[in-house]
A and B are shown apart, each in its own frame.
Chain A
Amino acid sequence: MDRLTLDIAVALRTLRLDLALEVGRETVALVGPSGAGKTTVLRAIAGLVRPDLGRIALGSAVWLDTARRIDRPPEERSVGYVFQDYALFPHLSVRKNVAFGGVERVDELLERFAIEQLSGSRPAEISGGERQRVALARALAREPAVLLLDEPLSALDAHTRNAVRAELQELLREVRLPTLLVTHDFEDAAALADRIGVVLDGKLLQMGTAAELVLEPADPFVASLTGSVLLPGRARAGPDGLTEVELDDGTLVYSAERGVGRVGVVVHPWEITLARSAPADSARNHLRAPIAAVVPDGDRVRVRVGPLTAEVTAAAARELELAPGVPVVASFKATGARLVPLGS
Chain B
Amino acid sequence: MKHAFNTVLVVAVVVAVTFLALPIVAIFWQVGLDRLVDGLRSDIARDAFRVTLKTNAIAMALILSVGTPAAYFLATRRFPGRALVVTILELPLVLPPAVAGIGLIFAFGRLGLLGDELDALGITIGFTQVAVVFAVTFVASPFYVRQAIASFESIDRTMLDASRTLGASPAKTFWRVALPLAGGGLGAGAAVALARGLGEFGATIMFAGSLQGVTQTVSTAIYQEFDVSLDAALAISAALVLVSGAILLAVKILPQWTGSRSTSRSLFARSAST
Contact = CB atoms under 8 A, between A and B. Distances in A.
Contact of B165 (A48, A90, A91): A48
Nearest to B258: A91
Interface stretch (B64-72, B73-81, B176-184): B176-184
A89 B180 CA distance: 10
B168 A83 contact: no
A35 interface: no
B161 A87 contact: yes
A142 B181 contact: no
A74 B159 contact: no
B161 A74 contact: yes
A136 to B, nearest CB: 13
A48 B164 contact: yes
B165 to A, nearest CB: 4
Nearest to B162: A87
Q: Which bracket fits the contact residues of A?
A: 20 to 34
Interface residues of B, number: 20
B167 A87 contact: no
B91 to A, nearest CB: 33
A139 B163 CA distance: 10
A89 B169 contact: no
A208 interface: no
Nearest to B260: A91
A101 interface: yes
A85 B167 CA distance: 19
B274 interface: no
B165 A81 contact: yes
Nearest to A148: B165
B161 A101 contact: no
Contacts of B6: none
22 contacts: A46-B164, A47-B164, A48-B164, A73-B170, A75-B164, A75-B166, A75-B167, A75-B169, A80-B165, A81-B161, A81-B165, A83-B158, A83-B162, A85-B158, A87-B161, A90-B261, A91-B180, A100-B168, A101-B167, A141-B166, A142-B166, A142-B167
Interface of B: 156, 158-159, 161-170, 176-177, 180-181, 183, 259, 261
Instruction: Report, nearest first, the 4 A-B pairs whose CB atoms are least far apart.
Output: A74-B164, A87-B162, A81-B165, A101-B166
